[in-house]
Amino acid sequence: MSTAAIRGAITVEKNSAFEIEKAAVVLLEHIIQKNNLQRNNIAFLFFTCTRDLDSQYPAAGIRHAGYTEIPMMCVAEMPVKDSLERCIRILVVVNADGNQEVRHVYLEGAKKLRPDLSD
């Protein structure tokens, strides 16, 4: 058994608990769908948020959506001058069989972070 790491990011319109939770769930569900993942194959989730998002942890939204068995960590993104604002980033680490196709997901304003990977 090996692991695979899947990246993603999404932006929110405003710094509110509702927006942060909703965006985190949308992002994770897109990643699960695009990568054909099973919930029990997710080893852990690692979130970062830009420092202008301080109303809620993204993990709270994921737990409220029923993903209570997955270990999660949330940290502040390092502040970089002129970087994208109101952005949630995720690293999904999955237990894979070595044939896991990895499709990274960038949504909303975060598409500009990796236009080469955005649909």
Question: What pLDDT does residue 118 have?
Answer: 64
Active site (annotated) includes residue 114: yes
pLDDT in tens, the chain (119 residues): 789 999 999 999 999 999 999 999 999 999 999 999 999 999 999 999 999 999 999 999 999 999 999 999 999 999 999 999 999 999 999 998 877 889 999 999 999 999 887 66
pTM: 0.94
Q: Phi/psi at 112 (nearest 5 deg)? A: -75, -15
Query: Is there a domain that residue 72 lies in?
Result: yes
Active site (annotated) includes residue 87: no
Q: For residue 73, what are the domain limits?
A: 2-113
CA distance linking residue 89 with residue 23, whole number of Å: 10
Q: Domain of 38: which CATH number?
A: 3.30.1330.40
Catalytic residue among 49, 74, 86, 87: 74
Pick from 86, 115, 92, 93: nearest CA to 27: 92
CA distance linking residue 20 with residue 16, whole number of Å: 6
Active site (annotated) includes residue 106: yes
